[in-house]
């Protein structure tokens, strides 16, 4: 989670700020009490039922997410009120795929320091709110005392059970108003001090977080460079293999056929003509293979008409039926589109060659967080895994080089699903 403070914006006048703090604390006195009742209920039920077929684990998971939601709301509330320049609270990202990766991210979320600081802040705000509520009630009762002489009789002092004569009500009401306002102002000031101390990171913490972020960015950049180098090596190996196993033998055969035709052109023109026809057919096949090879390196339709059109052409050429569902607005960077296109192309090739599947489905979306997401699934036998130098290895490295994340799910018996997410501006 990023905790680098953003530049502070213009703050509100002091009076409005204190009134806003008092109003929010009064609301938190009610809402916060309900929220913590729910949190303690989830925790107690989860712990109590954890041994009953693991049912309690569901409540504990809900407890962690409820803690995060409470902390997130508190960060947003305090930032909206005081404009400290607080960073938005972000959930801990999943570092590994699968169920184990989700459990690991859940544990990291539970032990997340910024989240717990948010929970502590909302707990303190709730306690202060429980003080604000009766103080506001006492303030209104004190205001009512100013009009007590009009009614006559004895009156009861706010905050106490003391009964006084109506003649002293105005003085008591004025004193009550002063005391109530002083308490409310003190609580507002205390709340501001406590939230700054709890939620605003110190300069040392900011510098440490900046250093950690820089180290993570350096590791990410290193992984991208390594992925780019590895992807280029895999791509070069693939091109060399396709040339050596496909086009080169066919061109050699064309040359030999033309040589035989040259020898027979005088003695047996009919046989020479048949050999030339054979060479012509082989030449056209070689040209087709070269075009397919070039398309595997670069596809012009992707540059000219975008990812949707390129994938439509790819699906039309697929040996197995492909259900294509592409919903993207606008264009992403050439790197992101190329990474997703060649990922889908290689996945469909693998599905046709190895999966024994009868159909495939391709879904592509541009998400709100600025990522280009794609999923390729076939109904084959599964069991796909990454082998060094193989097609899936090239996919993984190409996606990493583009700054994205791949995820392969291919249990034995199928189906095989590959999901990739690439920053749209990569």
Closest CA to 83 of 234, 196, 2, 191: 196
Closest CA to 92 of 102, 100, 83: 102
User: Is the pLDDT reported for residue 48 higher than 60?
Assistant: yes
How far is Cα 192 from Cα 72, in angstroms, rounded to an integer?
A: 18
Residue ranges of E strands in 194-236: none
Confidence tier at 67 by pLDDT (50, 70, 90) = very high
Indicate if the alpha-carbon torsion angle 109, 115, 117, 119 is positive or negative. Answer: negative
Give 140's DSSP letter.
Answer: H
- 140 preceded by cis ω (within 30°)? no
User: Is the pLDDT reported for residue 160 higher than 70?
Assistant: no
How far is Cα 17 from Cα 11, in angstroms, rounded to an integer?
A: 8
* pLDDT the model gives residue 4: 41
* pLDDT the model gives residue 390: 67
How far is Cα 216 from Cα 345, in angstroms, rounded to an integer?
A: 31
Tell me which range, 178-187, 254-263, 288-297, 416-425, is most confidently predicted by mean pLDDT: 178-187
Look at 98-112, 256-270, 356-370 and tell me which has the smallest mean pLDDT.
Answer: 256-270
- Tell me the average pLDDT across 225-254: 62
Q: How far is CA 347 from CA 73, 291, 422, in A?
A: 42, 19, 16
How far is Cα 228 from Cα 202, in angstroms, rounded to an integer?
A: 38
pLDDT per residue as tens digits for the range 247-271: 667 677 777 777 777 777 777 777 7
Region of residue 159 (left: phi > 0; alpha: psi -120 to 50; beta: else): left
Q: Which residue has the higher pLDDT, 284 or 132?
A: 132
Tell me which range, 38-52, 74-88, 185-199, 330-344, is most confidently predicted by mean pLDDT: 185-199
- Tell me the average pLDDT across 64-89: 90
Q: Which residue has the higher pLDDT, 228 or 29?
A: 29
Taking only Cα atoms into account, the Rg of the chain, rounded to an integer number of angstroms, comes to 35
CB 423 within 8 A of CB 336: yes
Q: How far is CA 271 from CA 92, 149, 261, 284, 373, in A?
A: 74, 129, 7, 20, 57
Burial of 411 (0-12, 13-18, 19+ CB in 10 A): exposed
CB 146 within 8 A of CB 101: no
Return the structure tokens found at 72.
């997130």
Indicate if the alpha-carbon torsion angle 129, 132, 134, 136 is positive or negative. Answer: negative
Give 370's DSSP letter.
Answer: S
Q: Which helix (H) or strand (E) holds 325?
A: strand 322-327
User: Is the pLDDT reported for residue 61 higher than 50?
Assistant: yes
* pLDDT the model gives residue 9: 43
Look at 70-84, 148-162, 218-232, 251-265 and tell me which has the smallest mean pLDDT.
Answer: 218-232
Confidence tier at 76 by pLDDT (50, 70, 90) = very high
Phi, psi of 405 (to 5 degrees): -130, 125
Confidence tier at 5 by pLDDT (50, 70, 90) = very low
User: Is the pLDDT reported for residue 231 higher than 60?
Assistant: no
How far is Cα 130 from Cα 165, in angstroms, rounded to an integer?
A: 31
* pLDDT the model gives residue 235: 58
- Tell me the average pLDDT across 371-382: 87
User: Is the pLDDT reported for residue 68 higher than 90?
Assistant: yes
In sequence order, the β-bridge partners of residue 420 are: 374, 406
Residue with tokens 């895999």: 234
* pLDDT the model gives residue 1: 42
Query: pTM to 2 decimals?
Result: 0.52
User: Is the pLDDT reported for residue 376 higher than 60?
Assistant: yes
* pLDDT the model gives residue 208: 59
Indicate if the alpha-carbon torsion angle 354, 356, 360, 366 is positive or negative. Answer: negative
Query: Where in the chain are the domains?
Result: 1-201, 230-297, 302-423
> Residue 253: CB partners within 8 Å, gap ≥ 6?
282
Residue with tokens 């039922």: 49
Confidence tier at 75 by pLDDT (50, 70, 90) = very high
User: Is the pLDDT reported for residue 7 higher than 60?
Assistant: no
Return the structure tokens found at 386.
């990454």
Q: Which residue has the higher pLDDT, 188 or 319?
A: 188
Phi, psi of 265 (to 5 degrees): -65, -30
The top-level CATH class assigned to 302-423 is alpha beta
Instruction: Kindly report the average pLDDT of the chain as a whole number.
Output: 79
% of residues, the chain, pLDDT over 90: 19
Closest CA to 321 of 365, 357, 295: 357
């Amino acid at each position: 989670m990023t905790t680098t403070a953003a530049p502070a914006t213009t703050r509100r006048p002091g009076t409005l700020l204190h009134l806003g703090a008092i109003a929010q604390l009064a609301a938190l006195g009610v809402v916060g009490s309900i929220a913590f009742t729910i949190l303690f209920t989830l925790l107690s039920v989860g712990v109590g039922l954890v041994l009953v077929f693991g049912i309690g684990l569901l409540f504990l998971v809900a407890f962690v997410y409820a803690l995060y939601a409470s902390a997130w709301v508190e960060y947003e509330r305090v930032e909206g009120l005081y404009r400290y320049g607080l960073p938005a609270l972000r959930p801990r990202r999943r570092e590994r795929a699968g169920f184990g990766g989700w459990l690991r991210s859940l544990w990291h979320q539970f032990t997340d320091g910024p989240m717990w600081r948010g929970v502590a802040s909302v707990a303190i705000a709730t306690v202060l709110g429980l003080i604000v509520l009766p103080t506001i009630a006492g303030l209104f009762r004190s205001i009512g005392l100013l009009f007590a002489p009009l009614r006559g009789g004895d009156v009861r002092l706010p905050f106490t059970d003391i009964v006084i004569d109506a003649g002293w009500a105005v003085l008591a009401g004025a004193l009550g108003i002063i005391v109530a306002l002083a308490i409310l102002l003190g609580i507002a000031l205390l709340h501001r001090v406590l939230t700054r101390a709890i939620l605003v990171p110190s300069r040392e913490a900011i510098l440490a977080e900046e250093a950690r972020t820089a180290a993570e960015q350096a590791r990410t950049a290193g992984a991208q460079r390594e992925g780019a180098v590895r992807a280029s090596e895999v791509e070069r190996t693939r091109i060399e293999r396709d040339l050596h196993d496909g086009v080169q033998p066919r061109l050699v055969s064309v040359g030999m056929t033309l040589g035989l035709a040259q020898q027979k052109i005088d003695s047996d023109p009919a046989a020479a003509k048949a050999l030339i026809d054979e060479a012509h057919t082989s030449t056209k096949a070689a040209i087709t293979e070269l075009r397919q090879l070039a398309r595997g390196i670069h596809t012009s339709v992707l540059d000219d008409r975008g990812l949707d059109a390129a994938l439509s052409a790819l699906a039309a050429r697929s040996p197995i039926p492909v259900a294509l569902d592409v919903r993207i607005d606008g264009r992403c960077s050439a790197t992101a589109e190329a990474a997703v296109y060649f990922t889908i192309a290689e996945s469909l090739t693998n599905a046709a060659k190895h999966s024994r599947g009868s159909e495939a489905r391709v879904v592509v979306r541009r998400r709100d967080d600025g990522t280009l997401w794609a999923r390729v699934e076939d109904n084959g036998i599964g069991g796909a895994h990454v082998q060094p130098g193989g097609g899936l290895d090239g996919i993984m490295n190409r996606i990493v080089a583009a700054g994205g994340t791949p995820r392969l799910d291919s249990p034995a018996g199928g189906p095989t699903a590959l999901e990739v997410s690439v920053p749209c501006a990569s």
